[in-house]
Chains A and B, each alone.
Chain A
Amino acid sequence: MEKRVVFRSAWLPYALVAPQIVITVLFFFWPAVQAVWYSFQVQDAFGLKTEFVGLRNFAELFADSHYLDSFKITAFFSIIVAGAGIAISLVLATFADRVVRGALAYKTLLIWPYAVAPAIAGALWAFLFAPSVGILSYFLRKTGYNWDWVLNGDQAMFLVIVAAVWKQISYNFLFFLAGLQSIPKSLIEAAAIDGAGPGRRFRDIVFPLLSPTTFFLLVVNIVYAFFDTFGVIDSITQGGPAGATQILVYKVYYDGVKAGDLGGSSAQSVVLMAIVIALTVVQFRFVERKVNY
């Protein structure tokens, strides 16, 4: 028996997906094509003079050692943000799933930060850790620790990672919680009767059954770390000190929006686009094989 729903009409399915297609083309494909086009040009800020320069923007980018450093910084930042974001929210979701009393309150509080815009999340953390007036800086100084992220690149990196992870935990938490709740209780009970402890049950039953969720979150979190975190960086460090938190997407934003260098910024976003496409392909080709649907 045919299980799928089949549309008999020739045009209805197309009409139904059309709005989505239009939005995708208008807001994703069109700007992407434009970025590729601009990346081959040198243009003044007002667009009065445009010159086609072929690959010169790219050549200049890769001749710049600071741009190459930015790759290392981005890789480090993204791996930590995606890894920590997923790990912490998995732990929280596992615990929240076992809570008997006041579960709703816990869940609500854990989901809350998702409603905060990245720039505001950044501002919150920047205030908490502000070198002169931040309350957490105050306590850190009391302990004698030299907390000065305005000049110390490692501390600045730590701070933007904390802010970026904090912002993403809620989203991950939501998906993990839903994933956990869809695991049949009978399986876990059967394992318990067979004598498996909570750790064993998690490792052999829960985690494999969660793998589709984990895989989905891995893709989403990497995209988040690569693209969505510039608000956090902009409101805390602006890429400083000395470029220590200059991740690729922040440089795209800074050069294009703040410095009016459209050609250079477009070339960078094309590079970034290529990286994320490659990463996603790798994830789907290799990581997805380990996923049990």
Chain B
Amino acid sequence: MRIKHLTLALAAAALFSTGAQAQTEIQWWHSMTGALGDKLNELATGFNNSQKEYKVVPVYKGTYPESLTGAIAAFRAGNAPHILQVFEVGTATMMAAKGAIVPVAQVMKDAGEPFEPKAYLPAVAGYYTNTKGEMLSYPFNSSTVLFYINKDMFKKAGLDPNKAPKTWNEVLAAADKLKASGQACVYTTGWPSWMHIENLSAWHNVPIGTKENGMAGLDTEYKINSPLHVRHVAMLGDMAKKGTFTYAGRTNQAEAKFYTGECAMMSSSSGAQANIRRNAKFDWSVNFIPYHDEVKGAPQNSIIGGASLWVMGGKKPADYKGVAKFFAYLSKPAVQMDWHTATGYVPITMQAYEVTRASGFYDKNPGADMAVKELTNKAPTANSKGLRFGNFVQGREVIEEEMEAVFAGKKDAKTAMDEANRRGNEILRKFEAANK
């Protein structure tokens, strides 16, 4: 059976390669599955049909870490793909790999493709831009963190369902009422570090680390044991003790708890909306994440998560021309709008956002523009344009381990955040030593 498939595949490959001899193939490794994967393939097909010179070949390579590991191995063996989709926490790893990657701005310039970095949403492009203003990778799928409430449960608890809590004090007050109304799970969260450390900092214009959150140098240090961070984590710990905060896990496990109606409030990715829309049998709303009103100037703007496309080094100049053409195609407002409305990821150019608004999509799908609004709430500052920490895969793990210890009541917030800061800095020093 397998052999039969293999021969079929080989035959098909042979057929294709003869048919596409004149075309230059661009390998694109990605990690999108299901509906997202279908949509991604559609983008490639759309580009391939729009011209004859180049053919983009999307290949699914497993989850983000798997695909990155695979690409690293392929690079070491001299077979890296042209384009690699890398999740946001891998940004520093990619960026430090000079010689393994080519900055997107460079690719566009060499190919003579029109490229205007200012056309992109600052909160999106800023994440992948170095301090010299050079865009390093192409922002492909970006989301941010939002706050969801179950309106039916708010009504049941005697709260105004049309007034979602705006500040953490309001969240606490609502939480007590929800708890009193017999609600077992009051508040839960997805992506604890992304939401409660990274976005908490940006939303209050407080640094996550020195050197512009690591963007201005490898000698950055974490600053996640500031009074605000400690107070916030302590607040969550208290909520957990009181039973108004239910910890769900390190990724998106919270989303199922929300759309099944188990939890009344949730903070998680803007990408959760698609699933909630499909599964929730109750009235809900999506809102800005809460802020601490005693912090002056809050709320600032939130930061993105998701992934970007990196161009790998060591290919022929003609190949890079194709890559540049493909990125130019992806930036077209119509293509962006299609991707944004189908997937729920934010549009990456202002123009695409305007076009989508003009189409009436946001009137029909209230909340679909909430992510863009939150990301553009204010012009990003050095504290809120993004972050770039070496080995942040490990860094996030350390942060989440320490937060879990607080939620479980094993450590107090101050001890835990001091420890997270110390352990995080050790990882940063190691990364610095390996990449200097």
Stretch at the interface among A6-14, A19-27, A47-55, A94-102: A47-55
A150 and B192 CA atoms in complex are apart in Å by 13
Number of interchain pairs (Cβ within 8 Å):
97
Given contacts A45-B72, A260-B393, A263-B434, contact A132 B96 (CB under 8 A): no
- The answer on a CB contact under 8 Å between B391 and A238 is no
B243 to chain A, nearest CB (A): 10
B258 to chain A, nearest CB (A): 10
Question: Which B residues are in CB contact (< 8 Å) with A64?
Answer: 423, 426
- The answer on a CB contact under 8 Å between A241 and B100 is no
- A208 beta carbon closer than 8 Å to chain B: no
- B260 beta carbon closer than 8 Å to chain A: yes
- The answer on a CB contact under 8 Å between A133 and B434 is no
> What is the 8 Å Cβ interface bit string for chain A, positions 244-265, against chain B (1 contact, 0 not)?
0000000000110111110110
Q: Of all chain B residues, which has the CB nearest A133?
A: B256
CB interface residues, B 58-101, toward A, < 8 Å: 65, 68-69, 72, 75-76, 93, 96-100
CB interface residues, A 226-255, toward B, < 8 Å: 238-243, 254-255
Given contacts A48-B97, A51-B434, A242-B404, contact A258 B393 (CB under 8 A): yes
- The answer on a CB contact under 8 Å between B69 and A258 is yes
Number of A interface residues at 8 Å Cβ cutoff, please give it.
36
Question: Which A residues are in CB contact (< 8 Å) with B430?
Answer: 42, 60, 261, 264
A31 to chain B, nearest CB (A): 14
A159 and B393 CA atoms in complex are apart in Å by 25
A60 to chain B, nearest CB (A): 7
- B401 beta carbon closer than 8 Å to chain A: yes
- A44 beta carbon closer than 8 Å to chain B: yes
- B223 beta carbon closer than 8 Å to chain A: no
Given contacts A45-B93, A51-B433, A243-B401, contact A151 B408 (CB under 8 A): yes
B404 to chain A, nearest CB (A): 4
B89 to chain A, nearest CB (A): 10
Given contacts A150-B249, A151-B247, A260-B393, contact A44 B434 (CB under 8 A): yes
Q: Which residue of B97, B248, B249, B260 contacts A45 across the interface (Cβ within 8 Å)?
A: B97
- The answer on a CB contact under 8 Å between B435 and A260 is no
Question: Which B residues are in CB contact (< 8 Å) with A239?
Answer: 397
B218 to chain A, nearest CB (A): 11
> What is the 8 Å Cβ interface bit string for chain A, positions 27-51, against chain B (1 contact, 0 not)?
0000000000000001111111101
Q: Is the interface of B mostly helix, strand, loop or mixed?
A: helix
> What is the 8 Å Cβ interface bit string for chain B, positions 395-424, against chain A (1 contact, 0 not)?
001001110110110100000000000010
Question: Which A residues are in CB contact (< 8 Å) with B404?
Answer: 151, 240-242
Q: Which residue of A51, A151, A259 contacts B393 across the interface (Cβ within 8 Å)?
A: A259
Q: Of all chain A residues, which has the CB nearest B240?
A: A151
- The answer on a CB contact under 8 Å between B434 and A240 is no
- The answer on a CB contact under 8 Å between A150 and B433 is no
Question: Which A residues are in CB contact (< 8 Å) with B391?
Answer: 259-261
Q: Of all chain B residues, which has the CB nearest A153?
A: B408
A46, A150, A240: most-surrounded residue (chain B CB, <10 A): A46
Question: Which B residues are in CB contact (< 8 Å) with A242?
Answer: 401-402, 404-405, 408, 410
Question: Which A residues are in CB contact (< 8 Å) with B75?
Answer: 46-47
- B253 beta carbon closer than 8 Å to chain A: yes
A263 and B256 CA atoms in complex are apart in Å by 38
- The answer on a CB contact under 8 Å between B69 and A260 is yes
A238 and B251 CA atoms in complex are apart in Å by 11
A274 and B243 CA atoms in complex are apart in Å by 45
- The answer on a CB contact under 8 Å between B93 and A42 is no
Q: Of all chain B residues, which has the CB nearest A261?
A: B391
A15 to chain B, nearest CB (A): 30
- B257 beta carbon closer than 8 Å to chain A: yes
Question: Which B residues are in CB contact (< 8 Å) with A254?
Answer: 397
Number of B interface residues at 8 Å Cβ cutoff, please give it.
40
B415 to chain A, nearest CB (A): 12
Q: Which residue of A42, A49, A152, A255 contacts B408 across the interface (Cβ within 8 Å)?
A: A152
Question: Which B residues are in CB contact (< 8 Å) with A212?
Answer: none
- B166 beta carbon closer than 8 Å to chain A: no
Given contacts A150-B249, A150-B253, A258-B65, contact A46 B393 (CB under 8 A): no
A150 and B260 CA atoms in complex are apart in Å by 18
- A131 beta carbon closer than 8 Å to chain B: yes
- The answer on a CB contact under 8 Å between B100 and A151 is no
Question: Which B residues are in CB contact (< 8 Å) with A241?
Answer: 247, 401, 404, 408
A60 and B433 CA atoms in complex are apart in Å by 13
Given contacts A43-B434, A46-B72, A241-B404, contact A133 B96 (CB under 8 A): no
A50 to chain B, nearest CB (A): 9
Question: Which A residues are in CB contact (< 8 Å) with B68?
Answer: 260
A56 to chain B, nearest CB (A): 9
Given contacts A150-B253, A240-B404, A242-B404, contact A260 B248 (CB under 8 A): no
A47 and B247 CA atoms in complex are apart in Å by 38
Q: Of all chain A residues, which has the CB nearest B405?
A: A242
A242 and B249 CA atoms in complex are apart in Å by 11
Q: Of all chain B residues, which has the CB nearest A256?
A: B69
- A72 beta carbon closer than 8 Å to chain B: no
A47 and B75 CA atoms in complex are apart in Å by 9
- A200 beta carbon closer than 8 Å to chain B: no
A51 to chain B, nearest CB (A): 7
- The answer on a CB contact under 8 Å between A260 and B93 is yes
- B181 beta carbon closer than 8 Å to chain A: no
Q: Of all chain B residues, which has the CB nearest A254?
A: B397
- The answer on a CB contact under 8 Å between A48 and B99 is yes
- The answer on a CB contact under 8 Å between B248 and A150 is yes
Question: Which A residues are in CB contact (< 8 Å) with B410?
Answer: 242
- B394 beta carbon closer than 8 Å to chain A: yes
- B250 beta carbon closer than 8 Å to chain A: yes
Question: Which B residues are in CB contact (< 8 Å) with A238?
Answer: 250
Question: Which B residues are in CB contact (< 8 Å) with A151?
Answer: 240, 247, 404, 407-408
Q: Of all chain B residues, which has the CB nearest A47?
A: B76
Q: Of all chain A residues, which has the CB nearest B423?
A: A66
B262 to chain A, nearest CB (A): 6
Instruction: Give 6 A-B pairs besides A150-B253, A260-B93 with Cβ atoms closer than 8 angstroms.
Output: A44-B93, A46-B99, A49-B435, A51-B434, A257-B69, A259-B391
10 smallest A-B Cβ distances: which pairs?
A242-B404, A242-B405, A241-B404, A259-B393, A46-B97, A46-B100, A259-B394, A258-B65, A42-B434, A44-B434
Give B residues with C-beta under 8 Å from A.
Answer: 65, 68-69, 72, 75-76, 93, 96-100, 240, 247-250, 253, 256-257, 260, 262, 391, 393-394, 397, 400-402, 404-405, 407-408, 410, 423, 426, 430, 433-435
8 contacts between A and B (CB under 8 A): A42-B430, A46-B75, A51-B433, A51-B434, A132-B260, A132-B262, A151-B408, A259-B394
